[in-house]
Amino acid sequence: MGSESGSKLGTSAMKSGEKLPGWEARGLPTASISWEVSMKGEGSTESTAVLVDSTLRLKHRVTEADNKLGVGKSFSGLNPDALNDPDLYAAEKELYLGSLCEVNDTPRPWQFWTIMLKNGNFDTSSGLCPENGKKVQPFVSQNFPCFGIGCMNQPILHHQETHLLGNGTMMRGGFNGTYDLGYFGLGGEEDISYFEVIWEKKVGVGSWEFHHKLKTSSKYPWLMLYLRADATRGFSGGYHYDTSGMLKSLPESPNFKVRLTLDVKQGGGPKSQFYLMDIGSCWKNDGSPCDGDTLTDVTRYCEMIINPDTPSWCSPRSLPNCPLFHVTPGNRKIFRNDTANFPYSAYHYYCAPGNAQHLDGPTSTCDPYSNPQAQELVQLLPHPIWAKYGYPTKQGDGWIGDARTWELDVGALSSRLYFYQDPGTAPARRTWTSIDVGTEIFVSNQDEMAEWTLSDFDVLLTSVKS
């Protein structure tokens, strides 16, 4: 993809200490925090506030100097080869900040929640993005938004560190910003991209609540914003290098569920592919685990889209947009050319990895540039066939005005979905390294705004069944 930012709460490379524009208008504090700061992991369900000399204080484990680390500045454990290489440096800095935030736990430590902000602009004349993991020369294409040189820029981002409110009863922090460089206003004006995430939690009570906003503009019509629970080590979904995160035990199909509370305030328009649940992993076409070789690794995604404006591109007349087969809860296999029984309207779109060598019949292949390696997508829509798994069964379920707490049998569902694999190879272990919720506003032809709140997000491992 053109550019992306994976911000780690409590650890980011954001501009720490800056005031968020527009916080006055939202009734949020802008005064500098004079308390001693350093913080445990933002994902902790326990308060990290401590009482010292009758004063409640937050302790941030990441300092301003840590946040400002950049190419050419060394830190503990940095590989000398990465010191002056921006790509290698960014990956190692993430692990370093993760080590500072690490919370000891059983069966292994965890680090932080991830917020991923992505921009779909792609300057095809730059030669920067690989095609299915392979370096390609610049080319001409009208398939991707780009206003010219610089369209793949990183955003301006303002960060408010987590701080105490309400006489020490509430913790709150956040960030906001825009991709439209040179603009420093509130973000609500016409034709200006805008993003905002505010996280808050009562001290010692309940879970974190994450409040999200995402707005597109004419220059940036394709934007994405997700809250992710990523693997604490190894490759998270869409990454080809080690990351850090919240998943101290990796969920594997079919033995896990996901519980969360979602309240969608604004949907983001008809092009908003809002994912109630998006799970990501990586394995090769022969079923073996990914190893960082972008030529043979494949990112795999399963996404449930709840925007009722999203149509089904899979139909009897568009079989290449459908998975090869559907598997019922009773393990009955229904092939896509069985027009009497295949649940076409349960699928938005399927696309196969671009490096697959043995595709069965006409099949759509995925965008070869959206990930460092090839990718495979299985995109679902609300349908009665998903009822057994706790997923939405009709259009509008979980959408605007229908806030709900969901308990989704993601493991059971993901064990029955079709994913491509080379013939004659042992089935891949479907271990999921990313679980996220959010939206992808896909090349809208007008400015759109999405707004939602997510809380009580938990991954529940279930007992192994025969």
- Report d(CA 445, CA 217) in Å as an integer: 9
Give the count of beta carbons closer than 10 Å to the beta carbon of residue 397.
15
Q: What percent of the chain has pLDDT over 70?
A: 86
Contact 247, 230 (CB under 8 A): yes
Q: Which two tokens stand for residue 211?
A: 């409040």
Q: How many domains does the chain have?
A: 1
Q: Which residues contact 178 (CB under 8 A, 6 or more apart)?
A: 155, 156, 187, 192, 193, 194, 195
pLDDT at 295: 96
pLDDT at 23: 33
Give per-residue pLDDT as tens, 57-78: 888 888 888 988 999 999 999 9
pLDDT at 124: 93
- Report d(CA 391, CA 401) in Å as an integer: 17
Q: Which residues contact 342 (CB under 8 A, 6 or more apart)?
A: 316, 322, 326, 334, 335, 336
pLDDT at 143: 87
Evaluate whether residue 429 is within a structural domain: yes
| Residues of the chain where predicted confidence (pLDDT) is lower than 50 | 1-54, 186-188, 466
Give the count of beta carbons closer than 10 Å to the beta carbon of residue 348.
21
Q: Which two tokens stand for residue 339?
A: 């027009």
DSSP secondary structure code for residue 52 in this structure: E
Sheet strands (E) in 114-166:
114-119, 156-165
Stated length of the chain: 466
- Residue in 161, 160, 162, 159 with CA at minimum distance from that of residue 49: 162
Give per-residue pLDDT as tens, 149-178: 899 999 998 989 899 998 888 999 999 999
Give per-residue pLDDT as tens, 278-293: 999 999 999 999 999 9
- Report d(CA 225, CA 236) in Å as an integer: 16
- Report d(CA 290, CA 465) in Å as an integer: 26
pLDDT at 465: 52
Q: Which residues contact 121 (CB under 8 A, 6 or more apart)?
A: 2, 3, 144, 145, 146, 147, 151, 152, 219, 220, 222
pLDDT at 49: 46
Return the percent helix, strand and coil in the chain, to nearest 5.
Answer: 10, 30, 60
Evaluate whether residue 466 is within a structural domain: no
Evaluate whether residue 208 is within a structural domain: yes
Rg of the chain (C-alpha set): 22
Q: Which residues contact 41 (CB under 8 A, 6 or more apart)?
A: 10, 101, 102, 103, 110, 111, 112
Evaluate whether residue 50 is within a structural domain: yes
**294 lies in which domain range?**
3-461
